[in-house]
């Protein structure tokens, strides 16, 4: 269990126990067994529960922003690869749209999969299937150090890694990448490290 999961479990436990105590206190007051001190304790517990809920909500909202802020994802739901299945690039050798009903979230980024089997493969080893350079155009990252949108159907598997490319308006950057791949790849790795550490 990750540290984040342990922290979430602790917060959930505090919230649950706080709610149960408040219910007990309020019941005591209702049946006439309580006093003003029980009401004050209940109010404190309600405040603690509410603060815990706020912390939990803020953490949940903040998580997607960390990795997702540098990745090429949909701004609404942090969907990567325009919904294409990251595993299918390797197993089918082509870009395959994932199903909206088969999803997994990893490091605040949502992925769709064509099948439950592909989802399972991804969850066993996410780094083996995630695109390089945050899903941005590999050529642009190497040539200019810029984050440029991609066409998810224009890709290359190189040394077991997925590289994506811009391909619009008669400009297929995969062709340019192939002409100078070693140098562009080296430069892209260096340029991406600047984004990845932010």
Q: What is the mean pLDDT of the chain?
A: 81
Asked whether residue 189 carries a pLDDT value surpassing 90, the answer given is: yes
15 compared with 170, residue with greater pLDDT: 170
Q: What angle do the packed helices 36-68 and 3-30 form, to 10 degrees?
A: 160
- The per-residue pLDDT for range 111-133, each reduced to its tens digit, is 999 999 999 999 999 999 999 99
- CB pairs under 8 A, 24+ apart, for 81-86? 81/111, 81/112, 81/131, 81/135, 81/152, 81/164, 82/152, 83/112, 84/112, 84/152, 84/153, 85/111, 85/112, 85/113, 85/114, 85/118, 86/111, 86/113, 86/122, 86/129, 86/130, 86/131, 86/162
Mean pLDDT of 29-54: 60
Mean pLDDT of 43-51: 64
Is residue 117 within 8 A of residue 123, CB to CB? The reply is no
pLDDT of 127 reads 94
Higher confidence at residue 106 or residue 19? 106
pLDDT at 19 over 80: no
Q: State the number of CA atoms in the 13 A half-sphere of 20 facing the CB.
A: 6
pLDDT over 50 (residue 6) = no
User: What is the mean pLDDT of the segment spanning 93-103?
Assistant: 97
Q: Can you give the pTM of this predicted structure?
A: 0.66
The distance from CA 149 to its chain's CA centroid, rounded to whole angstroms, is 18
Residue 81 is predicted with a pLDDT of 96
Confidence at residue 35, expressed as pLDDT on a 0 to 100 scale = 59
pLDDT in tens, 52-69: 555 444 443 334 334 568
């Amino acid at each position: 269990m990750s540290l984040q999961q342990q922290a979430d479990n602790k917060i959930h436990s505090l919230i649950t126990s706080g709610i149960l105590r408040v219910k007990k206190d309020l019941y005591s007051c209702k049946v006439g067994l309580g006093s003003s001190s029980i009401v004050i304790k209940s109010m404190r517990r309600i405040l603690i529960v509410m603060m815990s809920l706020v912390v939990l909500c803020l953490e949940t909202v903040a998580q997607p922003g960390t990795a997702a802020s540098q990745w090429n994802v949909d701004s609404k739901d942090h969907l990567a690869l325009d919904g294409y299945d990251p595993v299918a690039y390797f197993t089918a050798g082509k870009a395959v749209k994932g199903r909206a009903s088969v999803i997994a979230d990893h490091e605040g980024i949502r992925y769709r999969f064509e099948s439950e089997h592909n989802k399972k493969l991804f969850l066993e080893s996410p780094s083996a299937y995630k695109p390089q350079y945050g899903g941005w155009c590999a050529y642009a990252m190497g040539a200019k150090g810029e984050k440029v949108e991609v066409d998810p159907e224009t890709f290359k598997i190189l040394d077991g890694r997925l590289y994506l490319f811009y391909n619009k308006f008669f400009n297929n950057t995969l062709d340019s990448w192939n002409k100078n791949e070693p140098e562009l790849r080296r430069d892209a790795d260096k340029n991406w490290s600047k984004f990845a550490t932010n």
